[in-house]
Amino acid sequence: MGWTNDAADALHAGRSIRVQPYGGSMRGRVESGQLVTLVPASEREISTDDVIFVRWRGNYLLHKVIEVNSDSVLIGNNLGKINGAAQLTDVLGIMVEVCDEPTCGGTLIRHLNNMTWLVQLDDGREVIARLPKSVARNIFRIVPGDRMVIGGLWNSDYQILSSAQNPPNKLLE
């Protein structure tokens, strides 16, 4: 995988790196495609509940620390699965930041197909944005010209988060 090799190379060289991991095992903490910042493990003490970048059975994982021991960590995903113990020497990095691309406003220009729309962002760019089913259930009628809150990268696409009149709670924090 490209992002894992980039992260391993940077962390081995003692550099921090921002990567976009893909997968669902850490959802709720790190969503697929979110931008995360990793620092070399040597820069911080590893603690329970940290998210670490670790060499695991010939691959690399971004997983949560369940327990810290003198020479190993017990790792698992954010969905309750425990993978097992990894040696501390296999921990390459620690996640210090998770960030989405900035949210912004946009105006729906036209419906393209199914739940996909051409949207003009407030900065003038036109992007293709997907309307997730969870949002579509709450928005019964959307038409060209409606204002929407647009999220950043989500599985390499923009997504419509809500109507501009009813922004999701996470945008208000």
DSSP readout, 132-145? -HHHHTT-S---TT
Q: 0.75 cut: is pTM over it?
A: no
pLDDT of the residue at 21? 85
pLDDT of the residue at 52? 97
- Map tokens 């996909």 to a residue: 116
List the domains of the chain with CATH numbers: 2-99 (2.10.109.10), 104-171 (2.40.50.140)
| Mean pLDDT in consecutive groups of 10 residues from the start of the chain, 173 residues | 85 88 87 84 93 95 96 95 96 88 75 82 79 61 79 57 52 30
Per-residue HEC secondary structure of 35-51 comes to EEEEEEHHHCCCCCCCE
pLDDT of the residue at 94? 97
State which H helix or E strand residue 19 sits in. Answer: strand 17-19
pLDDT of the residue at 102? 54
As a whole number of angstroms, the distance between CA 62 and CA 172 comes to 28
pLDDT of the residue at 65? 97
Structure-block tokens of residue 81: 């699965």
Assess contact for 69 and 13: CB atoms under 8 A. Answer: no
